[in-house]
Amino acid sequence: MWDRFLRACRREPVDMTPVWFMRQAGRYMAEYRAIRKNHTLIQICKQPELATEVTLQPVKAMGVDAAILFADILLPLEPMGAPFEFAAGEGPVIHHPVRTRADVDALRVIEPEDGLGYVLDAIRMIRRELDGKTPLIGFAGAPFTLASYLIEGGKSSHYAITKRLMYREPEVWHALMGKLSEVVRRYLRAQITAGAQAVQLFDSWVGSLSPSDYVEFIQPHVRHILKDIETTSVPVIHFGTDTATLLELQRDAGGTVIGVDFRTPIDEAWARLGTGVGIQGNLDPLLLDAPRELLTRRIDDILRRIAGRDGHIFNLGHGILPETSPDAVRFVVDYVHERTRR
Residues identified as active-site: 23, 27, 36, 72, 149
Look at residue 76 and give its three-state secondary structure. Answer: coil
Of the residues 228, 242, 267, 310, which one makes contact with a copy of itself according to CB under 8 A: 242
Which part of the chain contacts a copy of itself (CB under 8 A), choosing from 5-13, 238-246, 250-258, 307-315?
238-246
Confirm or reject binding of residue 12 to a copy of itself (CB under 8 A). Answer: no
Question: What is the closest distance, in whole angstroms, from the C-beta atom of residue 23 to a copy of itself in the complex?
Answer: 12
Of the residues 289, 328, 330, 339, which one makes contact with a copy of itself according to CB under 8 A: 289
User: Does 38 sit behind a cis peptide bond, omega within 30 degrees of 0 on the bond before it?
Assistant: no
Long-range CB pairs of 150-154, under 8 A, 24+ apart, other chains included: 150/77, 150/82, 150/94, 150/97, 150/98, 150/176, 151/97, 151/98, 151/99, 151/176, 152/94, 152/97, 153/93, 153/94, 153/97, 154/90, 154/91, 154/92, 154/93, 154/94
Dihedral of CA 285/290/295/301: which sign? negative
Which part of the chain contacts a copy of itself (CB under 8 A), choosing from 6-14, 26-34, 227-235, 261-269?
261-269
Confirm or reject binding of residue 89 to a copy of itself (CB under 8 A). Answer: no
Look at residue 312 and give its three-state secondary structure. Answer: strand
CA-CA distance, 8 to 310, in Å (whole number)? 6
Question: What is the closest distance, in whole angstroms, from the C-beta atom of residue 286 to a copy of itself in the complex?
Answer: 4
Confirm or reject binding of residue 2 to a copy of itself (CB under 8 A). Answer: no
Confirm or reject binding of residue 298 to a copy of itself (CB under 8 A). Answer: yes
Residue number, 51 or 302, with CB nearest to a copy of itself? 302
| Class of residue 75 by CB neighbours under 10 A (exposed 0-12, middle 13-18, buried 19+) | buried
140-179 residues near a copy of itself, rule: CB under 8 A: 155, 157-160, 163-164, 167-168
Please report, for the chain, how many H helices and E strands are present, in that order.
16, 9
Residue number, 187 or 262, with CB nearest to a copy of itself? 262
Of the residues 301, 310, 328, 330, which one makes contact with a copy of itself according to CB under 8 A: 301
Q: How far out from the chain centre does Cα 209 lie? A: 19
Select from 67, 72, 21 the least CA-distant residue to 45.
Answer: 72
Q: How many residues does the chain have?
A: 342
Confirm or reject binding of residue 213 to a copy of itself (CB under 8 A). Answer: yes
Confirm or reject binding of residue 284 to a copy of itself (CB under 8 A). Answer: yes
Contact positions vs a copy of itself (CB under 8 A): 155, 157-160, 163-164, 167-168, 207, 209-213, 242, 244-246, 262-265, 268, 284-287, 289-291, 294, 298, 301, 317, 321, 323
